[in-house]
Amino acid sequence: MPLMRGMKQNKVLIVYTGGTIGMVQDENGSLHPFALDRIYDAVPQLRACSYDIDSVTLDRIIDSSNMTPDLWADIARIIEREYDHYDGFVVLHGTDTMAYTASALSFMFKNLGKPVVLTGSQLPLGMLRSDGRENIICALEIASGRLATIPEVCIFFESHLYRGNRSTKMNAENFDAFESYNYPSLAKVGINISFKEHLFMPMPTEPLQVRTNFDTRVAVLKLFPGIGEGVVRSLLGAPDLQGVVVETYGSGNAPTDDWFISALEDAISRGVIVLNVTQCKAGAVKMRQYAASCDMDRIGVVGAGDITIEAAVTKMMYLLGNYPGDKEHVKLRLSQSLRGEITE
């Protein structure tokens, strides 16, 4: 759907998936999604922008709690189909799972040479104090490529542009809802947009490749003091489980009890990949830094460095989906950076 058409040089495609940014309140005060035309009506400033804007809406607009790998594939296919026709892409998305979608898209796009900027808002665009107007205008400006070409999947929120697979939603109330704890923001919006080009992914020399397979037979095991053997064994024994992300303490530490190590070892011997990600927001897993991670290292648990939980889960699903039957390759890639999600 063409939204703003002129004779302008740069072109941006909006992919609208739903979320608070496009919601209205019903008579009971509950929020429901509405059509993209209303978003455009709510941001009349866009009439003055210096690039053309088109839009595509997913078949069903959703609260992002209903996001699925199939919908990630739909978003990726739209961008792949339109890749040569636009300078950049803005994905309007609910904030709740935005960091998962941004991570998933980053893995799906190999050799991405154009900006894909996800944004949304904490208050619906139709409300007077909505943060959505600022977010959408800045995301479009950045995606237009007029000022800089960022060859990455990013999240723009409340004056910061973050690498998508480094981002986390950390606040359910503030406009400043996202953070990238282990990698600096790629740009900061004030009177000017100041881009930190030295932090961007390198411009690819090969054409874009898109892979849309995900294997969802994965689980997350979050440790806490007192966690019981029954819970751990029942999760690790889930039928057909292919991979598990263990959310450990500090720099990748876990209980050293025999039952815990042997539960992990049993799972690994059945072919389950076990990935060690820290519960800490910042910092990295360092296997063997403490005795409390030596046994995990010995039995073949993979350390995931300073990856976010969102990137770890989506990366595991992506690698299992695209390299079925090659667990050694999946393990190797999990320990390395694919799209800048791990500091190496």
Burial of 193 (0-12, 13-18, 19+ CB in 10 A): middle
Residue 315 has φ and ψ, to the nearest 5°, of -65, -40
Query: 207 - beta bridge partners?
Result: none
CB atoms within 10 A of CB 150: 27
The strand pair at 153-157 and 160-163 is best described as antiparallel
Residue 149 has φ and ψ, to the nearest 5°, of -105, 115
- The active-site residue, picked from 17, 20, 97, 278, is 20
| Contact of 156 with 119, CB cutoff 8 Å | yes
> Residue number with the shortest CB distance to ligand ASP?
94
Q: Which residues bind ligand ASP (CB under 6 A)?
A: 18-20, 63-65, 94-96, 120, 122
- Closer residue to ligand ASP (CB): 20 or 212: 20
Query: 274 - beta bridge partners?
Result: 244
| Contact of 42 with 117, CB cutoff 8 Å | no
- Closer residue to ligand ASP (CB): 93 or 114: 93
Residue 27 in tokens = 């008579």
Q: Does residue 314 have an active-site annotation?
A: no
Q: At closest approach, how far in Å is the CB of 157 from ligand ASP?
A: 10
Residue (of 171, 207, 12) closest to 98 by Cα position? 171
Q: At closest approach, how far in Å is the CB of 36 from ligand ASP?
A: 15
Q: At closest approach, how far in Å is the CB of 214 from ligand ASP?
A: 20
Q: At closest approach, how far in Å is the CB of 22 from ligand ASP?
A: 9
d(CA 165, CA 8): 32
- Closer residue to ligand ASP (CB): 19 or 321: 19
d(CA 263, CA 238): 12
- Closer residue to ligand ASP (CB): 64 or 278: 64
DSSP 8-class letter at 51? S
Q: At closest approach, how far in Å is the CB of 120 from ligand ASP?
A: 5
Burial of 305 (0-12, 13-18, 19+ CB in 10 A): buried
- Closer residue to ligand ASP (CB): 22 or 303: 22
- Closer residue to ligand ASP (CB): 42 or 274: 42
Q: At closest approach, how far in Å is the CB of 33 from ligand ASP?
A: 8
Residue 7 in tokens = 């004779």
The residues that are catalytic are: 20
